[in-house]
Amino acid sequence: MSLLELSDVNGFYGNSHVLFDLNIDIEHNEVVTLLGRNGAGKTTTLRTITGTIPRREGGITFDGDDISEESVDQISNRGIKLVPEARRIFPTLTVHENMQVARDMSKGREPRPVEEMYEVFPILDELRENRGRNLSGGEQQMLSVARALIQSPDLLLLDEPTEGLAPVIVDDLYDVLSEVVEQDVTVLITEQNVDFALDLAERAYIIDKGANAWEGTVDELEQRQDLLDEYLSVGATDAE
Ligand SMILES: Nc1ncnc2c1ncn2[C@@H]1O[C@H](COP(=O)(O)OP(=O)(O)OP(=O)(O)O)[C@@H](O)[C@H]1O
């Protein structure tokens, strides 16, 4: 059974129809990337999963249960955690306090020890006493991911984690995330940085104008320059 299944999902902002009969299937422990141009509907797709979109229709199941009518809190309590594009950390709290708050908000789920997070994110260990507002964009992104992971998610949704980060920080984030995906967690990641996403993921979905355009393995996609040109407007990938 799939961990997450979207069948013929439609998404709306008021009268504006932006997702059209979208189908996505994610197996336990898979790392899947959702790709597409600006405005293709990637963030909105994640919002249909977390329940934060104003209106969604269609089938959404998580671990076999219908979650299509569930509230944001119910879905979060199931262990679906989103790291949004605009990083959400508490600016006046220290790194350590940010971690503690995330741990304490882990309703109904056994959180992971804060110290374990410092092992995965050594950068944060060094910054324990620094306030959120004094962190660089990359450090905030690491903290954002750590805050989601501490709640032991079953499904981690990452919305464009490299956005706005300097290349050297992107490399650090890659190192951390490649360690994260080795753990017992299923990941759906959206990215404009196609190389980054293809390096991390095993399987990919491309969406265009809110609808499925292609799906397959990352190995297949790396051979399909036509798709990369048509839907993602990038040059040759240099994925390792
Ligand atoms: N709050 C909103 N109200 C109305 N329309 C919206 C809203 N948010 C997004 N849209 C529209 O929905 C469509 C999909 O947007 P979405 O942000 O999901 O795309 P995306 O693929 O994540 O793009 P980006 O890479 O720019 O974040 C776009 O046409 C966008 O203008």
CATH of the domain at 11: 3.40.50.300
3-state secondary structure at position 192: coil
Domain membership of residue 60 (yes or no) is yes
Domain membership of residue 111 (yes or no) is no
Identify the residue whose C-alpha is closest to ligand 1 atom 4.
13
Total domains, the chain:
1
pLDDT at 206 over 80: yes
Domain membership of residue 214 (yes or no) is yes
Q: Tell me the C-alpha distance between 148 and 144, whole Å.
A: 6
Is the pTM higher than 0.80? The answer reads yes
165 neighbors 138 (Cβ within 8 angstroms)? yes
Average pLDDT over the chain, rounded to whole? 91
Domain membership of residue 202 (yes or no) is yes
Domain membership of residue 146 (yes or no) is no
Q: Average of pLDDT values for 18-33?
A: 97
Domain membership of residue 131 (yes or no) is no
What local confidence, expressed as pLDDT, does residue 22 receive?
98
Domain membership of residue 220 (yes or no) is yes
pLDDT at 129 over 70: yes
pLDDT (tens digit, 9 = 90+) per residue, 76-116?
999 999 998 877 789 999 999 999 999 988 876 788 899 98
Domain carrying residue 166:
4-87+152-232
CA distances for 91 relative to 34, 87, 134, 186, angstroms: 30, 11, 8, 29
Domain membership of residue 92 (yes or no) is no
Percent residues over pLDDT 90 in the chain: 65
Ligand 1 touching residue 15 (CB < 6 A): no
Identify the residue whose C-alpha is closest to ligand 1 atom 30.
39
Identify the residue whose C-alpha is closest to ligand 1 atom 7.
13
